[in-house]
């Protein structure tokens, strides 16, 4: 099995806000499991893609959900005409063939699921396939990366202490205004002025975090707003479509946000 | 035997030779009557006049009626005029001739104001209620009727009048006092028209707006009503932003914009007018102009950051370079010239102001320029000898504040404190004095109700200061609407007793305690979970089936556990126990020989012990009430507090007093509970009696309000159950909570079986 399809061919754009790229490379050199923390849309996934490209390793991404079982990660037996057939799950694939395995939003998965990564994330670096009676020693290129957003999940959903302590962590946040404007300008192909305006608008929305909004507008949302403008939408309409309507169903907050955005223009 | 109206008239006049005034009046209005009573109605009206004239109603009343009837008929229709005839006679019988004469005189004015038959009929209906229920108050009410209608509209009039009737249900003096009092605090809430935007409608939005722009949360309050002759303006003196409770005469959209512009302006002050001007020497005119320049300065600074604010503010500046050269007009033009650089004015003084202000553009950060420019302009204006009256002056345009917050008066507290309070979001609000008269008025009656003994016991509680935290609406079944912000909920510190007393309860009922704990533990109130690889179940587990097939091919014994099923395995339930601690809980439970409040304490202690042992989130609150201005609320144990000695002391310290205004307490508890992140949220109210309060004589009113509150809980996703401790209370408790949601117990020993029913229902529904 080769992982050619998982290799990222072109450089994904990533604008470093600090020394996170160097840190990650150092962690990879030692195959240290990494945890990316931060709000949604702050560039965690893009960062992993960028690093996978930079390191020239295939990247296997798994979006975790609350019904996910260990089999979904590790693999399972299937039946075929001849009998049973073992099918590697995404994690096993990465461990066997040497890829970076990225478990997105790991806290969504059930806690009994997440423990399968324990033997992989200490110095054993093994993955026991209980059903198959096999122990896989991780490929030298294998690295485990997980992401999680400590903000919006309820207290019920948190990583076990024993899981947390196996990882190094990089904190992601919305970049400083200048950098964020640069990112928006690049990604949405809009001019710097517009990008800066969008960053100013984002600050209004982020001010409302905890005061009516669960989370302020993310960089990703700003880029989407910028793209709408680049395609000819008016800035007002783009902000409404990309920044206001998706983020809240609360009439009052929506009206306040719209008014605040209109004050920025 | 129909005869023509003129014949009828002639016969009528002949029949009443001894009433010359009547005859003269009828002649006087005859032409008008002919045009306002169409066709046969004229005859009917003459008949009505005849009946009235021959009844024992006073002559003055009859004459007044005859004089007003055509006007009523032309404004509100012939039916209205005819029904007034019956009303006049009824009023005369019940409330006296004077009231009847007032009715006849006021009716045409009311008819003209209301201008349609249906509204007039409503008005008449309200008057009829007053005639029947409060005859002594008819005259004062009618005297005020026109201004009240103007202020409140017919619906508000109805709400206000019914409230007065209810408040003084048994006491004519009290009713009279209500209807003659001028500065009605109640008027304020009753006066809200349905389509008017009030501060409470937009407050949340305004807070979010300021938070979004400046990341600050200044406390926002109603502006206490001030002098009626001056338009009301926002204010931020003393660290609290005060906004008018409504902007009269503005459409919905306009009022929303005005509020938004006002809060944006005040926020600009809070952001950029950091230091106050010492009042020092300036004259009133200079104070006004310095404030005006300061307004412009902070607005420009705010617009540098948020250029869109200009679009919000500028449309309110409508002054034009024309009109009288009075100080207010010139200042309105100056205000426009300073915020709108494109505005050109031919007045030299305004041009000078505009030039000076924009010449300092680089120094706008410095509040000193407001003082110097404003001072100079004030001097100039003073020399132009234009009239300026500081008493009647009000800042224009309407979104700007009264500038009180800009000036440091000698007797206010240090500015440092104020700055701090501005940026603090204050959760608890101290109440304005508006509600105070109500309470004072009620106090003597409390004592009269034979509660003296109880009063003494409660002095200690009284001495503690409660903090008003919220106002809740109350449902009035008579008008079929909610009375907004009607009941004020005041939180008090719970008093403390001996924690041992609560421990003793557990020791007294060891078996019961175990049973309840077991019961609570076995109640699995949560989202169902899928269990796989089960011996039995309602569906096949695909993974297990594959396993079987594999085992068969391998020649192994297959695992028989191939089923999956859904099951509730955990308990994800937040419980709020709300205890009624009104005076009636000091009564003995019939048949049990114990006080209700003891029973409450025991039941709560047992339940709390079980829930605490199992780690379930729960809170224990208690309430009683002393009029709608003081619905008392105690937190014995909060959700995030442990069930420790302090909570037990609070539970031991509950004592009965005051009344049971259940609706407001339910709403408060429900609102808190609705924020809990749980699969189910249970509000368990333990009460002994019918809702009642000293300021409500209508027994049904609070029952209906509580019923309405319970219904609204369902919308918040809160399940409400009531544990009734009074076997006789079945009827109204069933009415309030619904038959399925009331558990009647008279002995604490019966709690377990009732509780299991409760959990069963929670799961079943």
Residue of B nearest to A197 (CA): B306
Q: Please, which pLDDT band fits residue A220 given cuts at 50, 70 and 90? A: very high
Residue B435 has pLDDT above 50, yes or no: no
| DSSP assigned state of B291 | H
Confirm or reject contact between B447 and chain A (CB < 8 A).
Answer: no
Confirm or reject contact between A86 and chain B (CB < 8 A).
Answer: no
Nearest to A208 among B206, B212, B550 (CB): B212
pLDDT in tens, B571-610: 788 889 999 888 888 887 766 677 888 888 888 888 888 8
Residue of A nearest to B304 (CA): A264
pLDDT of amino acid B464:
60
Two tokens at B431? 């109440």
Q: How many residues does chain A have?
A: 265
Q: Please, which pLDDT band fits residue B37 given cuts at 50, 70 and 90? A: confident
Answer whether B438's CB lies under 8 Å from B185's CB: yes
Distance CA B142, CA B328 (A): 39
Q: Which range scores top for mean pLDDT: B148-152, B170-174, B423-427, B553-557?
A: B553-557
Nearest to A256 among B208, B307, B550 (CB): B208
pLDDT of amino acid A203:
93
E strands in A81-150: 83-88, 100-104, 126-129, 134-137, 143-148
More confident residue, B422 or B222: B222
Residue ranges per structural domain of chain B: 5-189, 199-423, 500-523+571-764, 529-567
Which stretch of B152-156, B287-291, B673-677 has the lowest confidence by average pLDDT? B152-156
Residue B93 has pLDDT above 90, yes or no: no
**A163/A113 same-domain check:** yes
Answer whether B727's CB lies under 8 Å from B745's CB: no
Chain A interface test: which of B212, B302, B541 (most A C-beta within 10 Å)? B212
More confident residue, B450 or B523: B523
Answer whether B554's CB lies under 8 Å from B528's CB: no
User: Does the interface predicted TM-score (ipTM) exceed 0.90?
Assistant: no
pLDDT of amino acid A93:
95
CB pair distance less than 8 Å for B213 and A260: yes
pLDDT of amino acid B447:
37
Distance CA B17, CA B23 (A): 8
Q: Is B633 exposed, middle or buried (0-12, 13-18, 19+ CB in 10 A)?
A: buried
For chain B, what percent of residues have pLDDT higher than 70? 84
CB pair distance less than 8 Å for A154 and B677: yes
CB pair distance less than 8 Å for A252 and B549: no
**Average per-residue pLDDT for chain B:** 79
Distance CA A116, CA A110 (A): 11
Q: Please, which pLDDT band fits residue B437 given cuts at 50, 70 and 90? A: very low
Residue B438 has pLDDT above 50, yes or no: no
**A161/A181 same-domain check:** no
Q: Which of B300, B386, B286, B301 is nearest to B338 (CA)?
A: B300
Residue with tokens 């919006």: A152
Nearest to A208 among B202, B211, B256 (CB): B211
**A183/A158 same-domain check:** no
Q: Please, which pLDDT band fits residue B477 given cuts at 50, 70 and 90? A: confident
Residue B751 has pLDDT above 90, yes or no: no
Q: How many residues does chain B have?
A: 765
**A37/A153 same-domain check:** yes
Mean of pLDDT values over B691-704: 85
CB pair distance less than 8 Å for B308 and A264: yes
pLDDT in tens, A163-210: 889 999 999 989 999 999 999 999 999 999 999 999 999 999 999 887
Nearest to A77 among B213, B217, B550 (CB): B550
Residue A255 has pLDDT above 60, yes or no: yes
On chain B, the residues whose CB falls within 8 A of the CB of A256 are 205-209, 211-212
More confident residue, A108 or B190: A108
pLDDT of amino acid B733:
83
Distance of CA B27 to the CA centre of its chain: 52
**Chain A nearest C-alpha distance from B553 (Å):** 7
Confirm or reject contact between B553 and chain A (CB < 8 A).
Answer: yes
CB pair distance less than 8 Å for A255 and B307: no
CB pair distance less than 8 Å for A212 and B208: yes
Confirm or reject contact between B542 and chain A (CB < 8 A).
Answer: no
Among A114, A149, A171, the domain boundary falls at A171
Among A117, A140, A171, the domain boundary falls at A171
Among A138, A171, A204, the domain boundary falls at A171
**A181/A159 same-domain check:** no
Residue B273 has pLDDT above 80, yes or no: yes
**Chain A nearest C-alpha distance from B132 (Å):** 45
E strands in chain A: 34-37, 59-63, 75-80, 83-88, 100-104, 126-129, 134-137, 143-148, 168-171
Most distant CA pair in chain B: distance in Å? 124
Distance CA A41, CA A36 (A): 12
On chain A, the residues whose CB falls within 8 A of the CB of B211 are 207-208, 211-212, 256
Distance CA B377, CA B352 (A): 8
Answer whether B584's CB lies under 8 Å from B689's CB: yes
On chain B, the residues whose CB falls within 8 A of the CB of A264 are 306-308
Q: Which of B578, B692, B582 is nearest to B628 (CA)?
A: B692
pLDDT in tens, B353-397: 988 899 888 888 888 888 889 888 888 888 887 878 877 788 888
Residue with tokens 């902007």: B247
CB pair distance less than 8 Å for B309 and A263: yes
pLDDT of amino acid A90:
95
CB pair distance less than 8 Å for A205 and B212: yes
Residues sharing a CB contact under 8 Å with residue B234, sequence separation 6 or more, in sequence order: B223, B241, B242, B243, B244, B262, B263, B265, B266, B399, B400, B401, B402
Two tokens at A265? 């223009």
Other residues' Cβ atoms within 10 Å of the Cβ of residue B448? 11
Q: Please, which pLDDT band fits residue B764 given cuts at 50, 70 and 90? A: low
pLDDT of amino acid B753:
67
Mean of pLDDT values over B436-440: 38
Nearest to B204 among A71, A252, A259 (CB): A252
Residue B456 has pLDDT above 60, yes or no: no
- Number of domains into which chain A is organized: 2
Two tokens at A158? 């948190």
Distance of CA B134 to the CA centre of its chain: 26
Confirm or reject contact between B709 and chain A (CB < 8 A).
Answer: no
Q: Which CA distances in Å does B638 have to B238, B574, B617, B641, B644? A: 32, 12, 9, 5, 11
Residue B454 has pLDDT above 50, yes or no: no
On chain B, the residues whose CB falls within 8 A of the CB of A155 are 677
**Chain B nearest C-alpha distance from A32 (Å):** 34
CB pair distance less than 8 Å for A263 and B546: no
Q: Which of B524, B639, B613 is nearest to B572 (CA)?
A: B524
Q: Please, which pLDDT band fits residue B427 given cuts at 50, 70 and 90? A: very low
Confirm or reject contact between B308 and chain A (CB < 8 A).
Answer: yes
**A188/A122 same-domain check:** no
CATH of the domain at A153: 3.40.50.300
Residue A55 has pLDDT above 50, yes or no: yes
pLDDT in tens, B707-750: 999 988 888 888 898 888 766 666 788 888 888 788 877 776 77
**A135/A234 same-domain check:** no
Confirm or reject contact between A204 and chain B (CB < 8 A).
Answer: yes
**A25/A132 same-domain check:** yes
pLDDT of amino acid B714:
86
**A83/A165 same-domain check:** yes
Residue A92 has pLDDT above 90, yes or no: yes
Q: Please, which pLDDT band fits residue A160 given cuts at 50, 70 and 90? A: confident
Task: Identify the three-state secondary structure at position B742.
Answer: strand
CB pair distance less than 8 Å for A262 and B204: no
pLDDT of amino acid B1:
46
Q: Which of B429, B433, B428, B451 is nearest to B626 (CA)?
A: B451
Answer whether B381's CB lies under 8 Å from B286's CB: no
Q: Please, which pLDDT band fits residue B441 given cuts at 50, 70 and 90? A: very low
pLDDT of amino acid B182:
60
Distance CA B532, CA B569 (A): 13
Which stretch of A50-64, A240-254, B244-258 has the lowest confidence by average pLDDT? B244-258
Chain B interface test: which of A84, A256, A265 (most B C-beta within 10 Å)? A256
Which H or E run contains B265? Answer: helix B252-272
- Domain around A192: 177-264
Superfamily (CATH) of domain B500-523+571-764: von Willebrand factor, type A domain (3.40.50.410)
Answer whether A31's CB lies under 8 Å from A101's CB: no
Q: Which of A109, A88, A9 is nearest to A53 (CA)?
A: A9
Residues sharing a CB contact under 8 Å with residue B301, sequence separation 6 or more, in sequence order: B268, B271, B272, B364, B365
**A139/A206 same-domain check:** no
Q: Which CA distances in Å does B491 have to A115, B494, B625, B646? A: 47, 9, 11, 18
CB pair distance less than 8 Å for B212 and A154: no
**A241/A163 same-domain check:** no
**A37/A124 same-domain check:** yes
Mean of pLDDT values over A108-137: 88
For chain A, what percent of residues have pLDDT higher than 70? 94
Confirm or reject contact between B86 and chain A (CB < 8 A).
Answer: no
CB pair distance less than 8 Å for B215 and A207: yes
Confirm or reject contact between B304 and chain A (CB < 8 A).
Answer: no
Q: Please, which pLDDT band fits residue B225 given cuts at 50, 70 and 90? A: low
Q: Is the pTM of this model over 0.95?
A: no
Residues sharing a CB contact under 8 Å with residue B300, sequence separation 6 or more, in sequence order: B339, B364
pLDDT of amino acid B200:
77
């Amino acid at each position: 099995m080769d992982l050619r399809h998982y290799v990222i061919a072109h450089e994904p754009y990533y604008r470093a806000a600090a020394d996170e790229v160097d840190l990650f490379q150092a962690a990879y050199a030692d195959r240290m499991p990494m945890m990316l923390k931060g709000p949604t849309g702050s560039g965690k996934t893009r960062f992993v893609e960028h690093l996978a490209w930079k390191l020239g390793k295939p990247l296997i991404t798994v979006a975790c959900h609350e019904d996910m079982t260990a089999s979904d990660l590790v693999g399972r037996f299937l039946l075929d005409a001849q009998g049973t057939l073992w099918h590697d799950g995404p994690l096993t694939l990465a461990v066997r063939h040497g890829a970076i395995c990225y478990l997105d939003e790991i806290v969504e998965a059930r806690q009994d699921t997440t423990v399968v990564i324990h033997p992989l994330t200490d110095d054993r670096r093994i993955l026991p396939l209980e059903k198959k009676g096999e122990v896989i020693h991780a490929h030298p290129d294998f690295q485990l990366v997980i992401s999680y957003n400590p903000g919006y999940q309820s207290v019920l959903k948190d990583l076990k202490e024993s899981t947390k302590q196996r990882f190094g962590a990089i904190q992601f946040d919305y970049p400083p205004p200048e950098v964020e404007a640069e990112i928006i300008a690049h990604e949405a192909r809009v001019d710097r002025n517009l990008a800066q305006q969008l960053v100013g608008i984002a600050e209004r929305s982020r001010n409302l975090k905890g005061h009516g909004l669960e989370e302020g507008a993310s960089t990703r949302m700003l880029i989407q707003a910028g793209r709408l403008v680049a395609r000819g939408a008016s800035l007002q309409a783009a902000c409404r479509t990309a920044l206001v309507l998706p983020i809240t169903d609360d009439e009052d907050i929506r009206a306040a946000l719209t008014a605040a955005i209109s004050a920025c223009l | 035997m129909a005869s023509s109206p003129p014949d009828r008239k002639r016969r009528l006049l002949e029949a009443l030779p001894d009433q010359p005034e009547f005859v003269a009046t009828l002649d006087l209005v005859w032409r008008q009557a002919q045009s306002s009573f169409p066709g046969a109605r004229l005859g009917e009206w003459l008949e009505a006049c005849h009946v009235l004239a021959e009844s024992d109603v006073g002559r003055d009343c009859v004459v007044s009626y005859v004089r007003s009837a055509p006007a009523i008929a032309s404004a509100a229709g012939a039916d209205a005029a005819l029904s007034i005839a019956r009303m006049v006679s009824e009023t005369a019988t019940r409330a006296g001739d004077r009231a009847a004469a007032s009715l006849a005189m006021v009716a045409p004015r009311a008819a003209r104001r209301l201008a349609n038959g249906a509204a007039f009929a409503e008005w008449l209906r309200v008057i009829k209620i007053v005639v029947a229920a409060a005859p002594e108050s008819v005259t004062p009410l009618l005297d005020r009727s026109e201004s009240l209608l103007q202020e409140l509209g017919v619906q508000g009039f109805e709400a206000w009048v019914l409230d007065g009737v209810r408040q003084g249900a048994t006491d004519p003096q009290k009713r009279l006092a209500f209807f003659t009092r001028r500065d009605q605090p109640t008027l304020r809430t009753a006066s809200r028209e349905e389509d008017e935007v009030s501060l409470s409608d937009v407050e949340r939005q305004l807070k979010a707006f300021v938070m979004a722009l400046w990341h600050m949360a200044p406390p926002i309050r109603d502006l206490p009503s001030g002098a009626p002759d001056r338009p009301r303006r926002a204010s931020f003196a003393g660290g609290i932003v005060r906004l008018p409770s409504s902007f009269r005469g503005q459409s919905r959209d306009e009022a929303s914009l005005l509020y938004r512009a006002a809060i944006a302006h005040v926020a600009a002050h809070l952001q950029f007018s950091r230091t106050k001007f010492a009042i020092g020497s300036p004259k009133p005119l200079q104070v006004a102009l310095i404030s005006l320049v300061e307004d412009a300065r902070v607005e420009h600074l705010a617009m540098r950051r948020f250029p869109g604010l200009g679009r919000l503010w500028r449309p309110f500046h409508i002054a034009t370079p024309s009109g009288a050269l009075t100080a207010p007009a010139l200042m309105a033009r100056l205000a426009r010239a300073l915020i709108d650089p494109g505005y050109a004015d031919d007045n030299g003084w305004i041009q000078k102001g505009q030039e000076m202000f924009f010449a300092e553009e680089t120094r706008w950060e410095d509040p000193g320029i407001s003082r110097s420019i404003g001072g100079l302009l004030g001097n100039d204006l003073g020399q132009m000898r234009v009239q300026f009256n500081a008493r009647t002056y009000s800042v224009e345009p309407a979104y700007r504040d009264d500038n009180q917050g800009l000036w440091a008066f000698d007797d206010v507290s240090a500015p440092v404190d104020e700055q701090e309070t501005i940026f603090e979001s204050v959760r608890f609000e101290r109440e304005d004095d508006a509600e105070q008269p109500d309470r004072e008025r009620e106090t003597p009656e409390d004592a009269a109700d034979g509660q003296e003994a109880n009063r003494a016991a409660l002095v200690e509680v009284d001495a503690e200061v409660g903090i008003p935290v919220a106002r809740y609406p109350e449902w009035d079944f008579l008008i079929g609407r909610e009375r907004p912000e009607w009941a004020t909920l005041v939180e008090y510190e719970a008093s403390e007793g001996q924690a041992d007393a609560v421990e003793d309860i557990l020791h007294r009922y060891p078996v019961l305690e175990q049973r309840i704990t077991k019961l609570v533990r076995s109640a699995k109130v949560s989202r169902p979970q899928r269990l796989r690889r089960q011996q039995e179940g309602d569906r096949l587990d695909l993974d297990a089936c594959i396993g079987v097939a594999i085992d068969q091919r391998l020649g192994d014994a297959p695992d028989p556990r191939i089923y999956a099923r859904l099951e509730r395995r955990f308990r994800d339930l937040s419980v709020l126990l709300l205890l009624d601690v009104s005076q009636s809980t000091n009564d003995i439970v019939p048949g049990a020989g114990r006080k209700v409040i003891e029973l409450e304490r025991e039941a709560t202690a047992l339940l709390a012990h079980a829930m605490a042992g199992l780690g379930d989130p729960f809170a224990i609150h208690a309430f009683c009430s002393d009029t709608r201005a003081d619905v008392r609320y105690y937190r014995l144990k909060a959700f995030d507090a442990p069930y420790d000695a302090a909570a037990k002391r609070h539970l031991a310290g509950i004592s009965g007093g005051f009344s049971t205004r259940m609706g407001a307490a339910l709403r408060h508890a429900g609102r808190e509970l609705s924020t809990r992140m749980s699969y189910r949220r249970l509000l368990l109210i333990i009460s002994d009696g019918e809702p009642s309060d000293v300021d409500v004589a209508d027994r049904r009113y609070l029952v209906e309000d509580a019923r309405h509150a319970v219904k609204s809980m369902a919308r918040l996703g809160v399940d409400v159950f009531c544990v009734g401790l009074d076997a006789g209370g079945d009827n109204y408790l069933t009415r309030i909570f619904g038959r399925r949601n009331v558990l009647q117990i008279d002995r604490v020993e019966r709690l377990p079986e009732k509780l299991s029913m409760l959990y069963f229902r929670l799961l079943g529904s």
